[in-house]
Structure 1
Amino acid sequence: MESHDPRSTGSLLNDVLSSVGNLLRQEVDLARAEVDQNLKRAGAALGLLVVAVILAFIGLSVLSTAVISALVLAGISQLWATVLVGLVVLLIAIILVIVGVKRLKLSSIAPTRTARSLKADAQMMKEAYNDR
């Protein structure tokens, strides 16, 4: 037993196009929100990189002199004391840079939830079309 929708084909087509338009607008809004959120995370990661650079300079200029002096007093030559302190400070800076870069990956900026949602919408439309 078949039931027919009393609306005209044009009316049904208009409803479908309106629904698709609304769905696309919602997906665009979702993508914008997701990209905004991801860009904020990227900004925070860049902030970590800036802090890493600042800490590297502060560490080199403020603490290195005191530590080098202490190492020289302990019997290490000034050259080797300077090299040792420089390497330690640079190691700290490198660790901070690595953490910042990992958080800054471009893939973390992409709107992945929106992409999944669009795929699900497309699959739903295919299934609805194939059922007819």
Structure 2
Amino acid sequence: MASIPSTPGAAEPRGQDRSVGELLSDVTSDVQALFRQEVELAKAEVKEEASRAGKAAGMYGGAGFGGYMVLVFLSLAAVFGLANVMDLGWAALIVAAVWAVVAAVLYQRGRARMRTVSPKPERTVETMKENAEWARHPTR
């Protein structure tokens, strides 16, 4: 077997006789890329959670406005309908109590949805913990 003579300027295979500076440079660029990816993941998670929070807030607003409109028009109709059977004041009080129950149910549903919103980017925190563990023990 003939050996290939080493000539000045010839490219050496990657990973052989590399300087510490080159290795550190590679590690630094890898860590920077990993950090950028983690930041992008955090941004995506925060955006997703903000979207969910916005939808829940919209439901609160929609429930409030819808409840108000229903309360106004149906309450008037119910009060006038009940006024044919009983005193107008009692009819108005009964109708108000019914709409109070409806409002309480809508509030509870909105509150339950808001509890599912997590402001902390869970996946990013987990991967950052994994990255820190790997950085401490890269051969494991």
Specify the TM-score bucket, using the shorter chain as the normaliser.
0.7 to 0.9
Q: Percent identical across equivalent pairs? A: 35
Contact 1:52–1:96 (8 Å) recurs in 2: yes
Helix, strand or coil at the partner of 2:37: helix
Amino acid at match of 1:58: M
Flag the structure with higher helix content: 1
Structure index of larger Rg: 2
Q: 1:107 to 1:45 in 2, by over 3 A?
A: closer
Give 1:111's match in structure 2, choosing from 112, 116, 121. 121
SS at match of 1:76: coil
In the alignment, the residues of structure 2 paired with residue 87 and residue 115 of structure 1 have an alpha-carbon distance, to the nearest angstrom, of 47
Give 4+ residue runs of structure 1 displaced > 6 Å after superposition: none
Does the Cα contact within 8 Å between 1:42 and 1:109 map onto a contact in 2?
no
Q: How many residue pairs align between the two structures?
A: 126
- Calculate the aligned-residue CA RMSD, in Å: 2.1
Residue 101 of structure 1: which of 85, 92, 111 is its match? Answer: 111
TM-score normalized by structure 1?
0.82
TM-score by length of 2: 0.78
Point out where structure 1 has 5 or more consecutive residues left out of the alignment.
Answer: none
Say if 2:77 is the partner of 1:66.
Answer: yes
Per the alignment, residue 87 of structure 1 pairs with: 97
